[in-house]
Chain A
Amino acid sequence: MEIVLVGLNHRTAPVEVRERVSFTAEQSRKAADELRSRGILQETLVLSTCNRSEIYGVPPESSHECAPGLSSFLSEFHAVRADVLGLSLYHHYDREAVRHLFRVSAGLDSMLLGEAEILGQVRDAYRFAHEYGATGPVLNRLFQGALEVGKRVRSETELGTRPMSVASAGVKLAERIFGKMNERSALVIGAGTISEQVVNQLRDRGIARLFIMNRSRDRADELAIRFGGKVVGWGEWETALKVADVVVSSVASEEPVLRREILQGAMSARGNRALFLMDLGLPRNIEASVAELYNIYVYNIDDLTEIVEQNRNARESEIPRAETIVDEHVGKFLSWQASVELVGLVDALRARLREERAAFIHARMDSMNHLSAAERERMESMMDELLEKLLLQPAERLRGEKELRRKIQNVEALRDLFLSNREKP
């Protein structure tokens, strides 16, 4: 009932290796089948995202013994040289494997600390493997625990609550002014990469109307078609600023594109309704004095970068709380694992003692001819009673006392003490 994990992630492998070792749904199924048929793993779950590829498994024998087999399997399965792959792979066993998965699902092992997507990816990977029948009691319990950890960390800490990119910070700030974006309009000035990121965020947050203004009409058309926006001619400020609630500007220009006079006129045309301006250009696209105008909120790239930095610090300060939740669940899982193994151990011990009793009686009773059949039967039943008495109390305590299960976590040592290798359950 040991657990093994072999995998690589954004920290151990460059993107060229990660993309070669990633699994499609079909490949995950195939890998699970092959690992089972080759006798490497009894239970298998493949977790493959853009930043990690990991195989979690329960081997029939010791987890340490099966790890090299798993590494060679990965190398063979993806046709990547073993020496190249070996540099990127990590192996974790039992407690460390459990802890690793729980940290992954909490977002503690993600490239973007606390990101929310990973929990969904863990859930999908588990559901997929479970439905296919690749998992068993151990991985089921392990992944249910991981999902619980992920949920708890997100609801009890602030690890994933704050925006971590300039684009998302800007859009979240706009929501502080206007509320939900689904009745709002945005004007995006410039059609470069950063504008695209903001448009993506705005679309994700359900922006109702999107206007795109760019010096090059073709690029504006392209962006408008991709994101379902409308193109506004360059410099048509009156039309564009009258309806927009959020303005994002990121164009290369030596002079400010949005001057105070333009915005003064726009504000009077829009009846001073609040206007949120994100200036992502360098040099700045919006004249500094615009920030003094009534009901206008201006954030430039430095302001937003600072917010992201503060949020990163805030997220990092939540790590200890998240780690505590992880540790708590690791303890819970190991306790469950130990209890299952100990119950198995008690059953094996009972079988062994019965065998010993039978052999003992057979050897000693032969010489006791003076005993009647009834007396022999009586002695056998007394010995059975004694054995049951000896085993009953520990078995009951194991079932009932969580603390005891936590203390007895090295079941292997107990097995070695009482049973020979042949008899291990």
Chain B
Amino acid sequence: MKDLFLILTIAAYAGSLALYLRFLNTGKEITGRLGTLFLGLGLVAHYFALLERSRGLHTVPYHDLYGSMSLFGWLLALTYLGLELFHRQRSVGAFVLPFIIVFFVAAHLAPADRLSPAPARGVIFAFHVTLSILAYAAFALSFVFSLIFLGEERLLRSHKLGDIVWRLPPLELLERMSRSSVLVGLVAIAIGTALGFVWVDRLMGQIWYYDPKYVITLLVLLLYVLYFHLARTASWRGARASKLCIFNFFVVVMSFTVVNLYLSQSHRYF
């Protein structure tokens, strides 16, 4: 069946979202665990959907915009699952799953034109791209955590609790998860960028040639290092650090859009 993995992925992610929402509502451990299980199943099905798409188009997932988006969604899900297992907390699943579903659905339902085969660029290049997308997925997660943090913090300080506050994850958990997520992103972007330089060196015989993408990637790296450091200091911990994290993600989005589309010569979809 042609769209088997597509359907399975959507079903598993939708099931996971429904279960996470129910977990948020009722606090029943079993529904949370089932949510995690469905997310895991979704990841497996998503992997095969990516594979199927790449085979069908005779290219790698990151060769076009939609493929990159789907890979981004997959890495987002993978990073979230890792964080969830590490922090043993499931209450943010309901907030992350919609992003994963949007990326997956948008990527796979878009018309896929037959592309020219991707040039063979080797393992180093593949790792460079995959780790870079992983980093952006991790930064996107920290952005989501920071947004929830700021919203919840504002509600708690203004005493306007409404129905929602009782369902949101604790503030300190959001801070911790955001920091962990940024750490994953930092490690991935550092290694990914280094591999990019190695690949350029092999291809062109020189490590450095000017590309605005380098500048903005360096800026992203520095901004997240700054966040990681400041988030644990007395004057920044809490809302200020979350605001910085949100700002940082806007720089990431700039890197993805303006820089990739209009300024960079060698980067297109990652």
Complex Cα distance, B157 from A162, in Å, reads: 19
The winner among B89, B152, B159, B171 for most chain A CB atoms within 10 A is B159
Known: A155-B28, A297-B156, A310-B161. A274 touches B170 (CB 8 A): no
Mark contacts of A243-274 with chain B using CB atoms, 8 A cut-off: 1 yes-contact digit, 0 otherwise: 00000000000000000000000001001111
The winner among A175, A177, A268 for most chain B CB atoms within 10 A is A177
Q: Does B165 contact A (CB under 8 A)?
A: yes
Q: Does B203 contact A (CB under 8 A)?
A: no
The answer on a CB contact under 8 Å between A161 and B161 is: no
In the complex, chain B residues whose CB is within 8 Å of the CB of A299: 159
Contact residues of A between 268 and 300, Cβ < 8 Å to B: 268, 271-274, 291, 294-295, 297, 299
Q: Does A178 contact B (CB under 8 A)?
A: yes
In the complex, chain B residues whose CB is within 8 Å of the CB of A303: 159
Known: A176-B170, A177-B170, A272-B235. A155 touches B161 (CB 8 A): no
In the complex, chain B residues whose CB is within 8 Å of the CB of A35: none
In the complex, chain A residues whose CB is within 8 Å of the CB of B28: 155
Q: Does A353 contact B (CB under 8 A)?
A: no
Q: Does A125 contact B (CB under 8 A)?
A: no
Known: A173-B156, A177-B171, A179-B173. A295 touches B161 (CB 8 A): no
Nearest A residue (CB) for B237: A272
Complex Cα distance, B89 from A264, in Å, reads: 32
Number of interface residues of B (CB under 8 A): 25
The answer on a CB contact under 8 Å between A268 and B156 is: no
Query: How many contacting A-B pairs (Cβ < 8 A)?
Result: 55
The winner among A175, A268, A294 for most chain B CB atoms within 10 A is A294
Q: Does B234 contact A (CB under 8 A)?
A: yes
In the complex, chain B residues whose CB is within 8 Å of the CB of A178: 170-172
Q: Does B206 contact A (CB under 8 A)?
A: no
Q: Does B26 contact A (CB under 8 A)?
A: yes
In the complex, chain A residues whose CB is within 8 Å of the CB of B234: 268, 271-272
The winner among B166, B169, B173, B235 for most chain A CB atoms within 10 A is B166
Complex Cα distance, B235 from A272, in Å, reads: 7
Mark contacts of B153-166 with chain A using CB atoms, 8 A cut-off: 1 yes-contact digit, 0 otherwise: 00011010101011
Q: Does B61 contact A (CB under 8 A)?
A: no
Mark contacts of B216-238 with chain A using CB atoms, 8 A cut-off: 1 yes-contact digit, 0 otherwise: 00000000000000000111011
Q: Does B168 contact A (CB under 8 A)?
A: yes
CB distance from A410 to the nearest CB of B (A): 39
Q: Does A172 contact B (CB under 8 A)?
A: yes
Q: Which of A175, A268, A295, A306 contacts B238 (CB 8 A)?
A: A295
CB distance from B110 to the nearest CB of A (A): 39
Complex Cα distance, B237 from A295, in Å, reads: 8
In the complex, chain B residues whose CB is within 8 Å of the CB of A161: 166
In the complex, chain A residues whose CB is within 8 Å of the CB of B235: 272
- Chain A: interface size category: 20 to 34
Contact residues of B between 62 and 114, Cβ < 8 Å to A: 89
CB distance from A301 to the nearest CB of B (A): 13
The answer on a CB contact under 8 Å between B159 and A175 is: no
Mark contacts of A166-210 with chain B using CB atoms, 8 A cut-off: 1 yes-contact digit, 0 otherwise: 000000110111110000000000000000000000000000000
Q: Does A314 contact B (CB under 8 A)?
A: yes
CB distance from A169 to the nearest CB of B (A): 10
In the complex, chain B residues whose CB is within 8 Å of the CB of A334: none
The answer on a CB contact under 8 Å between A176 and B237 is: no
In the complex, chain B residues whose CB is within 8 Å of the CB of A162: 166
CB distance from A170 to the nearest CB of B (A): 12
Complex Cα distance, B157 from A307, in Å, reads: 14
The answer on a CB contact under 8 Å between A176 and B152 is: yes
Nearest B residue (CB) for A163: B166
Complex Cα distance, B171 from A111, in Å, reads: 33
The answer on a CB contact under 8 Å between B156 and A271 is: no
The answer on a CB contact under 8 Å between B238 and A176 is: no
In the complex, chain A residues whose CB is within 8 Å of the CB of B239: 294-295
Q: Which of B152, B161, B233, B238 contacts A294 (CB 8 A)?
A: B238
In the complex, chain A residues whose CB is within 8 Å of the CB of B171: 176-178, 274
CB distance from A235 to the nearest CB of B (A): 24
Contact residues of A between 357 and 408, Cβ < 8 Å to B: none
Nearest B residue (CB) for A297: B156
In the complex, chain A residues whose CB is within 8 Å of the CB of B165: 176
Q: Which of B89, B166, B168, B237 contacts A273 (CB 8 A)?
A: B237
In the complex, chain B residues whose CB is within 8 Å of the CB of A273: 237
The winner among B165, B168, B234, B240 for most chain A CB atoms within 10 A is B234
Known: A272-B237, A274-B238, A295-B237. A176 touches B168 (CB 8 A): yes
In the complex, chain B residues whose CB is within 8 Å of the CB of A172: 166
In the complex, chain A residues whose CB is within 8 Å of the CB of B237: 271-273, 295
In the complex, chain B residues whose CB is within 8 Å of the CB of A295: 237-239
Q: Which of A179, A291, A307 contacts B170 (CB 8 A)?
A: A179
The answer on a CB contact under 8 Å between A274 and B166 is: no
Nearest A residue (CB) for B22: A155
In the complex, chain A residues whose CB is within 8 Å of the CB of B157: 291, 297
In the complex, chain B residues whose CB is within 8 Å of the CB of A274: 171-172, 238
CB-defined A-B contacts under 8 Å, sample of 9: A155-B28, A158-B25, A176-B171, A177-B156, A179-B170, A274-B171, A294-B238, A297-B156, A310-B161
Q: Interface on B for A, CB 8 Å cutoff? A: 25-26, 28, 89, 152, 156-157, 159, 161, 163, 165-166, 168-173, 233-235, 237-240
Given contacts A161-B166, A176-B170, A291-B157, 7 further A-B contacts (CB under 8 A): A155-B28, A162-B166, A173-B156, A176-B165, A178-B171, A272-B238, A310-B161
Q: 9 closest A-B pairs (Cβ-Cβ)?
A: A179-B170, A271-B234, A272-B234, A295-B238, A177-B171, A179-B173, A303-B159, A178-B172, A155-B26
